[in-house]
Amino acid sequence: MSLQQLISQIGPLDKQAMSAARSRQDMLTKPQGSLGRLEALSIQVAGITGTPRPRIEQKVIVTMAGDHGVVAEGVSAYPQEVTPQMVYNFLAGGAAINVLSRYVGARVVVVDMGVAAEMEPHPKLVDKKVASGTANMVAGPAMGRAQAIESLESGASVVENELARGLDILGTGDMGIGNTTPSAAVACALTGRPAADVVGRGTGVDDAGLARKAAVVEKALAVNRPDPDDALDVLAKVGGFEIGGLAGAMLAAAAHRRPVVVDGFISTAAAMIAVGLAPQIRPYLIAAHRSQEQGHRIMLDWLDLKPLLDLDLRLGEGTGAALGIALTEAACRILDEMATFGEAGVSEGEESL
């Protein structure tokens, strides 16, 4: 499906389903509103899915990997070789995302969007490689506009394939040494905030490394001058293949009325690209957490998303999304499985509880 077809299929939330879900929440055996944001979350999912009592059974976390030419500027505490090494770790089931996905009952789909290495064929590795890493964005665009579109449409195709297998909720994750730098650049381009406000320590760079990252982001923005009113231009000039892939995955999930649980800093940059392309996707997004990256709060505020958790996470991979999926499922189970006052034979009113 083309990018424009995807965007055209994303409609508003189902108000009737939300109204029915809200009415049921108000009849459950508890004081109205006493489960706080879990109630609101279940109503949101009802609107997304068009189902007054949504059930989340098939949980999928898509972890997309890509490399970045900007690592040549010394923006990461880890070498680029770690990207393919961690992809193999994902495939072997040994990473944090694998542990948390097993815990919440989600399947992990690992995608090579642009790893700068020739990956060995593996039955669990989805090959959507656009190129072997992006170009160095301080010297010019990270990718061509056609490559940006390819990354978006390839990411969408991953979700289309998973829908055929069963997908009730999508979690997003990433892997790519250096990818907090293009993510910060995307955020700066779209929010207009200076790099010093957005750039964080990523994999753990020291003070000198932090200053270098901020300077690299400012230089990339000055060289490329991405248009904040054209999200595709922002992606092409200062983004990454996995960022584009995740944005495309989000668009596809929304087009098929599936909730999207957004992980941390990199996934949120992808969400910003997705919203820039299709503003109507915003209510389909659920922010799993606020990460330790200093700019993440700015990005979430721009998206008008309130995170479910704040655990000082900064790993990526989809780890926060896994926890967010668990909370979203819990919210929907309460709506669907909890008894109403009438069903339980309990008198309504707070004084009876």
Catalytic annotation, residues: 317
Q: Can you tell me the distance from the alpha carbon of 178 to that of 68, in angstroms, rounded to the nearest whole number?
A: 6
Instruction: Centre a 10 Å sphere on the Cβ of residue 223 and count the other Cβ atoms it contains.
Output: 15
Contact 188, 221 (CB under 8 A): yes
> 231 by DSSP, 3-state: which?
helix
Whose CA is closest to 231, among 270, 273, 269, 265? 273
Q: Can you tell me the distance from the alpha carbon of 156 to that of 163, in angstroms, rounded to the nearest whole number?
A: 11
Q: Exposed, middle or buried by CB within 10 Å (0-12, 13-18, 19+), for 289?
A: buried
Contact 82, 50 (CB under 8 A): no
DSSP state of 289: B
> For residue 156, what are the β-bridge partners?
none
Work out whether strand 59-66 and strand 260-262 pair parallel, antiparallel, or are unpaired.
unpaired
